[in-house]
Chain A
Amino acid sequence: MRTWKKDFKYLFYTLFHPFDGFFEIKFRGKGNMTLATALLVLYGLLSIFTTQYTGFIFNHFPVHSMRSIQLFMLAIVPILLFIVSNWSTTSLMNGSGTIKDIWIMTCYSLVPLILFDLMTTLLSNIIILEEAPILTAFRYIGVVWFCYLIFCGLCTIHEYTAGRNILTLFVTLAAAIIIIFLVILYFTLMDTVISFVETISTEISKRW
């Protein structure tokens, strides 16, 4: 219990001092894997919450046909994809971060997004259309902060310079596209195989 409280405090220290924070997490083991995963799940849940509870004026989503699991996946999968593709590129490009480091770093960086999304969602219920710039500003603060944390975090845990970090980010993007391509290929092929087996078994069952 004591360590959880400490880890939680440390998380907020990291938000304001990303270089020091992520350094400590990597080399002194101050990160908490469970806390990080919980944050990721929280982020997914929050995307459902946002869709459902954004105020009427700003909610353009057809809430009557909402699918929670789909929304959850849509929030989480890009992050998982980033983690995997970043790990697979950096391990080839002399990055010293392990997948555990990347995982904790990415999930900790989600905190500003979570906080500001929560804030905008609650605020959107007591705001009129003319005050919409406030919401946009809040959302952008969250996104910019998130990007800053990710950038600092990657620099720290992979021990990269800024230039090399940007280069790896581009390669990460390419890797992500390749992964998506492979996944689609796999599912298309499996679909064909399964339908082939299905057809044959139907044929056999009809004959005998």
Chain B
Amino acid sequence: MAKKKIIGIILLTALVLAGIPGTAANARNTEDHHYTYDFWGEVLKSIPAFELAYTIDGSKMDIPVSGMDDVATGGGRIFLIDTQESRLHVFDDTYSYVTSVKLLRGEDKKIVLDENGGQVALKNPEGVWFHESQNEIYVADTGAERIVVLDGDGYFLKRIITRPDNMVGVTQFRPSKITVDGTNKIYFTVQSGFEGIVELNQSGTFSRYFGVNKPVVDLWDYFWKRMSSDEQKSKMSKTYAPAFNNLAIDGDGFVYATTVDTAAKEQVFRLNPKGENVLRNKGYFPVMGDLLIQNLFVDIAINDYGVYALLDQEKGRIFLYDFDGNLINIFGKSGDLRGDFKAPSAIAWFGDKLVATDKNLRCAYVYQMTEFGEAALGAAKNYYFGEWEESARLSKEALRLNANYDLAYIGIGKYYLMQDDFKNAMYYFRLGNEKEFYSQAYNGSRSLWIQENFALILAALLVLSGLLVYSEIRYNKKKG
């Protein structure tokens, strides 16, 4: 009787504990159904790499929150943008509220006044970026057509960048999403700006338009445009290049960008300094999210080992890809349950965690890695930094948790290939359906085979040529 009671109490505490956020760091506790795609595009069951750890919303602030439209992280803080209330909220790494910025203050804590004596405040900002090396916060103050630079610690105004005099083109200076690279160059997107991403120099002067976003060529349109006269053409609606809607930057200074325009040829971009898309597409399928439906990627976040997360508005999903473009995991969904999305708006890495915001639900979800996520992403990380052995060990761990994680087979195969263990490498590449690396491993094993059996092959060739010569001689003798 007493024993039963004790067991009962233990079970009860376990149940209560499981309900507290932050304790459930194991995918076994989530009941989410997730999926992945195999080599043939068939849908397989999978477990999530991330799970909801905490929800940041307006409940702990005395300030009204009307939406969350962009998120940036850095210096152990999370910066959230509320476009409608024109506010920048700051949270620390325990997700507690630090401060909120609307009126801009100088270093002396006094509110900055403009030339007419009015208070300078944010006006419908859409984007934010934390620039680690200079300890600066860049706010894309869209409504006021300017970029506001705040100090990273004191949140006071450092400088304001307005439309530079040397800016060319028809794009308005209405920065929407913003990022800054290691050389302090500023990149920002403009909603429906078809000329590309705007690049500014450190001083705030205009540098260039950046990035090529090709529209899909409609054969029928092309035909009519060829047939019609110049006068007719002038009356036709023009096809503009699709606009980039969001961007981010990786450690090597490559700008990643997304577009939600369905007329665009590609949805995800990794732009080289020339502005061309050099995204690696070495996975089973190109980086495209779901295979059969068109996803709308509203934001992208890259971490320091090249794993990037794509936030999809269509189904409320987050797609994780590694540096090579292999699909690691799919998680999240739109719906009405806790942790579901209504209108996802932005995503950012927060150390090993992910922060994703929702415009309609006015909250930011903080995701932490599950046990599987730790193994899978750990393998990707160690592979990226050249720690093959650790990568293989974590791949094996990931496989133990999720046998449908094909990428792990490839990871293990690559390790064996590195060790010149061709037999094992071939075995794992075959399981992972990796033809290119299998071919390399097979090439190695074939060369070994030829080396070992060289005498045999030579003998066979000699016998064959001998027979050929003999038959020729006999044939010629017969003929006389």
Which chain B residue has the least Cβ–Cβ distance from A64? B40
In the bound complex, do residue B40 and residue A57 qualify as a contact, i.e. CB atoms below 8 Å apart?
no
A-B Cβ contacts below 8 A, count: 21
A57 to B439, CA, bound (A): 6
Q: Please give, as numbers and ranges, the residues of chain B lying within 8 Å of A122 by CB-CB distance.
A: none
CB distance from B443 to the nearest CB of A (A): 5
Q: With A62-B40, A129-B435, A129-B436 as given contacts, are A56 and B430 in contact (CB-CB < 8 Å)?
A: yes
B446 at the interface (CB under 8 A from A): yes
Most buried by A among B40, B438, B439, B443: B439
How many of B's residues come within 8 Å of A, CB to CB?
Answer: 11
A52 to B216, CA, bound (A): 38
In the bound complex, do residue A57 and residue B438 qualify as a contact, i.e. CB atoms below 8 Å apart?
yes
**8 A Cβ contacts from B424-470 to A:** 430, 435-436, 438-440, 442-443, 446
A129 to B439, CA, bound (A): 6
A62 to B439, CA, bound (A): 19
A98 to B443, CA, bound (A): 52
Q: Please give, as numbers and ranges, the residues of chain A lying within 8 Å of B446 by CB-CB distance.
A: 126, 128
A130 at the interface (CB under 8 A from B): yes
**8 A Cβ contacts from A41-67 to B:** 56-58, 62
CB distance from B74 to the nearest CB of A (A): 43
Interface string of B20-57 (1 = CB under 8 A from A): 00000000000000000000101000000000000000
Which chain A residue has the least Cβ–Cβ distance from B38? A62
Which chain A residue has the least Cβ–Cβ distance from B437? A129
CB distance from A27 to the nearest CB of B (A): 32
Q: Please give, as numbers and ranges, the residues of chain A lying within 8 Å of B439 by CB-CB distance.
A: 57, 128-130
Q: With A126-B446, A128-B443 as given contacts, are A56 and B40 in contact (CB-CB < 8 Å)?
A: no
Most buried by B among A56, A58, A126, A130: A56
Which chain A residue has the least Cβ–Cβ distance from B441? A128
Most buried by B among A58, A62, A128, A130: A128
A129 to B436, CA, bound (A): 7
CB distance from A131 to the nearest CB of B (A): 9
Q: Please give, as numbers and ranges, the residues of chain A lying within 8 Å of B442 by CB-CB distance.
A: 57, 128
Which chain A residue has the least Cβ–Cβ distance from B435? A57
A62 to B436, CA, bound (A): 17
A57 to B426, CA, bound (A): 11
CB distance from A185 to the nearest CB of B (A): 29
CB distance from B453 to the nearest CB of A (A): 13
**8 A Cβ contacts from A22-38 to B:** none
Q: Please give, as numbers and ranges, the residues of chain A lying within 8 Å of B440 by CB-CB distance.
A: 128
A129 to B437, CA, bound (A): 9
Q: Please give, as numbers and ranges, the residues of chain A lying within 8 Å of B436 by CB-CB distance.
A: 129
Which chain A residue has the least Cβ–Cβ distance from B433? A56
Q: Please give, as numbers and ranges, the residues of chain A lying within 8 Å of B40 by CB-CB distance.
A: 62
Which chain B residue has the least Cβ–Cβ distance from A129? B439
A58 to B438, CA, bound (A): 11
Q: Please give, as numbers and ranges, the residues of chain B lying within 8 Å of A130 by CB-CB distance.
A: 439, 443
CB distance from B431 to the nearest CB of A (A): 11
Most buried by B among A62, A126, A130: A62
A126 to B438, CA, bound (A): 12
A126 to B442, CA, bound (A): 9
Q: Please give, as numbers and ranges, the residues of chain B lying within 8 Å of A56 by CB-CB distance.
A: 430, 435, 438
CB distance from B304 to the nearest CB of A (A): 32
A12 to B435, CA, bound (A): 38
A3 to B390, CA, bound (A): 69
Which chain B residue has the least Cβ–Cβ distance from A132? B439
CB distance from B428 to the nearest CB of A (A): 12
CB distance from B406 to the nearest CB of A (A): 14
Interface string of A122-139 (1 = CB under 8 A from B): 000010111000000000
20 contacts between A and B (CB under 8 A): A56-B430, A56-B435, A56-B438, A57-B435, A57-B438, A57-B439, A57-B442, A58-B435, A62-B40, A62-B42, A126-B446, A128-B440, A128-B442, A128-B443, A128-B446, A129-B435, A129-B436, A129-B439, A130-B439, A130-B443
Nearest 4 Cβ contacts at the A-B interface: A129-B439, A128-B439, A128-B443, A62-B40
Besides the known contacts A56-B430, A126-B446, 19 further A-B residue pairs in the complex with CB atoms under 8 A apart: A56-B435, A56-B438, A57-B435, A57-B438, A57-B439, A57-B442, A58-B435, A62-B40, A62-B42, A128-B439, A128-B440, A128-B442, A128-B443, A128-B446, A129-B435, A129-B436, A129-B439, A130-B439, A130-B443
